[in-house]
Structure 1
Amino acid sequence: MASTAQPMEKDLHGVSTIQKIMKEAVQMSQKEEVELVAMLKKKGYRDIFREQAEKYCEETTIHGVKYLARERSAKRWYWGVIVLGTFCSASFLIYGVVDNYFRSPTLVSIETTDYPVHRIPFPALTICNLNKISNSSLPPDQQTVLGRVVYPNETEWRQRVLDALEIAYMDSCAGGRCPLSADSCEGDHCLPSAETRRRTHDIPPEQVRKIMAMTSPSCDEMVVACLWRGRKTPCSKLFKTQRTDLGYCCLFNAHYDSAKQDGVLYSGSGNKNGLTVMIDVKRYEYYLSHFLSVGFKILVHGTHDEPEVRQRGMAIPPGQEIFVAVTAEETYTTARAESSFTPEERNCYMEHERALRHADTTYYTLANCLLSREAQALVDRCGCVAFYMPGTAKICHEKDLPCLQTFLHHLSRDFNLSAEFWEHCLPACDETKYSTELSSSLFPSQELIKNEAFSDIFKAIVTRMCASLIGVTQQQSKECSLILAGKGAEELLANDSLTEPLYPLAVNYARLNMAKLHVFFKTNSVTRYKRDLMYTIDQIIANIGGLLGLFMGFSLVTFFELIYYFVLNLSPGSRGSGGRVAPTASPRPAPAQAPSPDTREGAGAPVGSGAPPG
């Protein structure tokens, strides 16, 4: 039993010793604190802080600070102004860096000026005839428009169709007069007459849009021949009909059904790698236009942009060969810029981040957003949208025209209203912008049209001329009938005696009605921009550290020096160089070892005494 109890007594004795040591340590710490407080009261907090500050100024790595402690009078003021000035300058520049980081965290910079042009989508092209209604298409078939014959009298049906079209194409007054005789001016915009409104109130807006599509110049009539990258291509495969603010037009390489890039055409640089089309204005079909001119309007735009031809299109006259040289700029956003910030912070929308209420495409672009906001403002004001606006909102009818005309008139003059649209729309994060340069020459050449190299162009012109029968004699009319029927056309055109009289007629018809258009990339490389983080974490630390180091010699070690001098050296129990501030306790004798209360006679010495058991 004695042998078993002896280890237990030793363990208890060791625990008691540890407790005594801890108690003494606490008492010493408390005593040092009391001594420090007493000394601070005796010397004063201000004196202690001044003493420590002087020592810090003597030993710090910050430029110029040591002279503040070392020099006196004027020299001290001199260095004080310098240190304060450098501190304020560094603070001002650092504030600019930090503020710029939070206000504009992304930066658009040039990544390369030699990005291959064949990696850029070929632009979309919209071609519109200035004429909005073809004479020969009036009136459209009732069965197709209404689903049945409602008006047995063809004259009455024609008049109702014209009234509906006049309302749909209502425009501003020109010189105090409207382009349509049945209309009247009110202020700067046209209003339909009471009789016109009465005859059209029972035609639904959807049928009005269908009438517009059926009576507009069709793409088959307007686009004669097409070459894509030097190869003959059926125009019907390249162009489709699209509703625009200038009526129904022909659209090339535009994709609105989805945001995918499938089917988007790409090309190289130069005329042979672009699009070439021959277009026919058919001036003899003109019935209604808002311009006192004959020709086309074209617009080169992004493949997902809704075309606003009337506002931004370029006029093309007949009798010209037009060369449209296109340059492009592409901007893309890096993945880290996309994931690190909200759209407002990075100042752009990704494709999936913004759904447009009024759009024919799911692809977000700035142009589509602005048009959608305009349509929404019109819905809020009038409860309907103009015929050309995208989406599925209700189309304005005759009773809505006063509100519609007033709004569009107000929009064209009130820049504050347009500014509101911009507040809700941001650029697309990934976008391609196109710019154009136009040059032209007379088309066709009377001297060269007989050249065998241009025989295809001559055949196309003669075919169009024969279809119109304008300036064609009775004998030539017979020949045209054979050409249009496709019977012996090659033989007729190969016979000089038959074709010789057709040359001047073809030249005259082409100069009055036709134009040749070339659209191509001007250069084989473009500028590509990158939207990325303005500063990464390591860059902003480097910028701030560089400014502090340049102006003040401040570094990360300087920060720890501040902690050392003004925290650690003022804390209880500090030693070494901090002994000047924190008092050091005088050595005291070691306390006598008291016998353990658990020590029993004959059990042996306390644990740790080194004496063997008795």
Structure 2
Amino acid sequence: MATTAAATTFGERAERRLHQRLAIGHAVWWIPSPKSRPRPSPAPRPRNVENVAQKLSFGAALKDLLQNFSFHCYGKLVEHGYRNHERFFWLIFHITALSVLIAFVWNTYKDETEVLVTTIYNPQYPVSEVDLPAVSVCSMNRISKRAVRYYAQQLSDKDHRHRNASFFYRELRAFGMYYGSEEYCDYQHVLGLQRFLDDKDTEPYELFFNSRRHLHDLTPNCSDMFVSCRLAGQAFDCLTQFRESLTNYGFCCTFNLRGRFFKPRPYSQRFFGADMGLTLTLKSDRNDNYYKMHKLVEGFANYPDPQSGGVSLRFVSSGRITQLPVIPRIIETVPEARHMSPQVRKCFFEDEIPHNFSQRYTFSKCISACRARSIFSLCGCLPFNIPMSFIPFAIGRVFCTLQHMECLQRYKFKWLNVITTREFMPGLEHELEDALYCPDCLASCSEIRYKVRGAMSLPLKGNFKPMTNSNYRNSNNNSSFDANNSYSSHDSSELAVVRIYFAETHIQYFRQIIKNAWYEIFSTIGNICGIIAGFSLIGICELLFFLAKQLWHAYKAELKAELCQSQSQSQSKARTGNIYEASGKANVEAIDEANQSQSQSLSLRPRQMQSWKLEMK
């Protein structure tokens, strides 16, 4: 028995030594999980010690980043062997380099308001591929005398006071106010005429006096103005190519209105030279003059654009040959600019907003539409010379009549001065306030601009014999042109010859391109940053990775702190509940014991009384 006990004691001691030798941290690889004595848990560190540890870890990470940074010379700030004044020098150097870098990049791009730059695309673009401009011919006599006499007789027949036609012939001079005349300032007298027209000269289907229809009837006809027309040396019928259209001056005769000559043409029809362009022989009947827009100029006005804004206006006098050499300039914007907003590129493509501008958008049409909306808003009427498509829901609206002339004259300055952007200009505050503001009107991204250069006027010879329209049809037959035409003599003082042609065989073709693409901006800034501060893309990636890593660690620490706080709160609640439960059980047990003792005392009392009775017996 003693031997067995000694062996057992020796085995226990050996096992204890093995456990002590194979404690955690000293275990060999063939023991999967040795048993060890539990270590005492470390005491919790105070909160300020944890913050210091976190700061040190961030500082150590930042130091490691600066030592291994791809940016140049940033390791000098934490490199061993440098004194404090040397580190301070490198810190000042890096701050200065970064300041210069930021200032240089800011000054380079702060004034970049234009995202498109205009460059010359083809300096020798053939003019034979350029569209022929639209040409409108308007007689300076805006109201025909013959038409006024006929209209005055109609009004006399409708008058219940039986006033003669001569009276209405004089009264109708007030219609010159539709074309901007200020001769008639007696608005009370004019309003009396307008009340008569509203009462007696309105059709049953009309709700108001239709000034557009009556002014169209009073305008001289195109057939009364044209004598002959030639294009590229070939005669054509004027009435088939010129169509009535609305312009700023009312109804005029417009050539190439639908863009028939916008298509590519052969070289022989490049319209270069005075003899190969558009040649018009116009006739001015002085006996038919009733109201002329400009008293100092007699004849016709030619301009290509039927809308206000981009108008090239030229006056042609009777008895003279006027040559109008046209120099076109093509400006095209690259299709890549469509991805930008119109406010950024500051222009509209012609098919971007076509709902208000019929076929295509132009800046001049937009200004006319803006002016028409302002007139309709301030005066409550639509000018007769503005297309109805410029104003939404304009069908059924009243056209401006004589009763609106006072309002139109009051705001005339406003509609003659149009601005698209408001910029402070000293001394022009009042003008900017009163001008018409059209912020939605931007320039056209792609357009052809026609400029008349060096207009020349020569006297017309006394024996000038133009070809009549009746011979144009014969000139298209198989017989020769010279054998079939005939000439009729006209007074040269009533005729005006206009020659519109291209002045150059080749023109300049401009193109608007994106000034700075993303890769150009990236390369420019990258070169500046690399030269001044030694930046590189790899270094930027390292810096971003460092920041992302630190943010992730901070997020994890915050999340862990919130989790620990929630666990501590739940444990405290559980402890409080256990205390309440234990106290409740103790109270219940005490109450039960008290009840039991009270019941025992009550049961003992009758027994004592009974024993006492027995003893008495």
Calculate the TM-score normalised by the size of structure 1. 0.64
Partners of 1:491 and 1:263 in 2: CA distance = 27
Partners of 2:550 and 2:293 in 1: CA distance = 87
Which residue of structure 1 aligns with residue 175 of structure 2?
A: 167
For 1:18-167, list aligned pairs within 5 A: 53=62, 56-69=65-78, 72=83, 76=87, 78-95=89-106, 105-140=115-150, 150=158, 156=164, 159-160=167-168, 163-164=171-172, 166-167=174-175
Which residue of structure 2 aligns with residue 579 of structure 1?
A: none
Which residue of structure 2 aligns with residue 268 of structure 1?
A: 270
Q: Which amino acid aligns with 2:239?
A: S
Partners of 2:485 and 2:120 in 1: CA distance = 59
Partners of 1:491 and 1:332 in 2: CA distance = 46
Deviation sequence 1:329-355 (CA, Å, 0-9, x none): 2233333321x2233233222334325
Task: Specify whether residues 162 and 199 from structure 1 end up closer, same or farther in structure 2 by C-alpha distance, changes over 3 A only.
Answer: farther
Partners of 1:191 and 1:437 in 2: CA distance = 47
Q: Which amino acid aligns with 1:184?
A: C
Which residue of structure 2 aligns with residue 458 of structure 1?
A: 465
Q: Which amino acid aligns with 2:440?
A: H
Partners of 2:171 and 2:449 in 1: CA distance = 40
Q: Which amino acid aligns with 1:282?
A: D
Q: Work out whether residues 168 and 387 of structure 1, in 8 Å CA contact, stay in contact via their aligned partners in 2.
A: no
Which residue of structure 1 aligns with residue 534 of structure 2?
A: 553
SS in 2 for 1:111: strand
Q: Which amino acid aligns with 1:86?
A: A
Partners of 2:111 and 2:104 in 1: CA distance = 11
Which residue of structure 1 aligns with residue 341 of structure 2?
A: 342
Partners of 1:88 and 1:352 in 2: CA distance = 47
Partners of 2:436 and 2:74 in 1: CA distance = 54
Which residue of structure 2 aligns with residue 438 of structure 1?
A: 454
Which residue of structure 2 aligns with residue 422 of structure 1?
A: 438
Q: Which amino acid aligns with 2:147?
A: S
SS in 2 for 1:530: strand
Which residue of structure 2 aligns with residue 231 of structure 1?
A: 234
Q: Which amino acid aligns with 1:376?
A: R
Q: Work out whether residues 300 and 434 of structure 1, in 8 Å CA contact, stay in contact via their aligned partners in 2.
A: no
The size of the alignment, in residue pairs, is 468
Which residue of structure 2 aligns with residue 373 of structure 1?
A: 370
Which residue of structure 2 aligns with residue 27 of structure 1?
A: none
Partners of 1:383 and 1:566 in 2: CA distance = 64
Partners of 2:169 and 2:287 in 1: CA distance = 20
Which residue of structure 1 aligns with residue 475 of structure 2?
A: none
Which residue of structure 1 aligns with residue 474 of structure 2?
A: none
SS in 1 for 2:290: coil
Task: Specify whether residues 206 and 354 from structure 1 end up closer, same or farther in structure 2 by C-alpha distance, changes over 3 A only.
Answer: farther
Partners of 1:571 and 1:264 in 2: CA distance = 65
SS in 1 for 2:432: helix
Q: Work out whether residues 230 and 279 of structure 2, in 8 Å CA contact, stay in contact via their aligned partners in 1.
A: yes
Q: Work out whether residues 176 and 291 of structure 2, in 8 Å CA contact, stay in contact via their aligned partners in 1.
A: no
Q: Which amino acid aligns with 1:514?
A: L
Question: Which protein shows a greater Rg?
Answer: 2
Task: Specify whether residues 535 and 154 from structure 1 end up closer, same or farther in structure 2 by C-alpha distance, changes over 3 A only.
Answer: farther
Task: Specify whether residues 42 and 440 from structure 1 end up closer, same or farther in structure 2 by C-alpha distance, changes over 3 A only.
Answer: closer
Task: Specify whether residues 76 and 52 from structure 1 end up closer, same or farther in structure 2 by C-alpha distance, changes over 3 A only.
Answer: same
Deviation sequence 1:380-413 (CA, Å, 0-9, x none): 1121122212215421123322222223344336
For structure 2, the residue ranges without an aligned partner over 5 or more in a row are 1-28, 34-42, 203-207, 389-394, 418-429, 471-482, 554-617
Partners of 2:520 and 2:127 in 1: CA distance = 33
Task: Specify whether residues 119 and 77 from structure 1 end up closer, same or farther in structure 2 by C-alpha distance, changes over 3 A only.
Answer: farther
SS in 2 for 1:373: helix
Aligned equivalent of 1:219, options 222, 227, 241: 222
The alignment yields a C-alpha RMSD, in angstroms, of: 4.4
SS in 2 for 1:529: strand
Which residue of structure 1 aligns with residue 361 of structure 2?
A: 364
Identity, in percent, stands at: 18
TM-superposed deviation, 1:520: 1.3
Partners of 2:297 and 2:162 in 1: CA distance = 30
SS in 2 for 1:557: helix
Partners of 1:223 and 1:68 in 2: CA distance = 89
Matched, 1:523 2:504: yes
Partners of 2:147 and 2:552 in 1: CA distance = 98
Task: Specify whether residues 387 and 314 from structure 1 end up closer, same or farther in structure 2 by C-alpha distance, changes over 3 A only.
Answer: same
SS in 1 for 2:361: coil
SS in 1 for 2:504: coil
Partners of 1:114 and 1:56 in 2: CA distance = 59
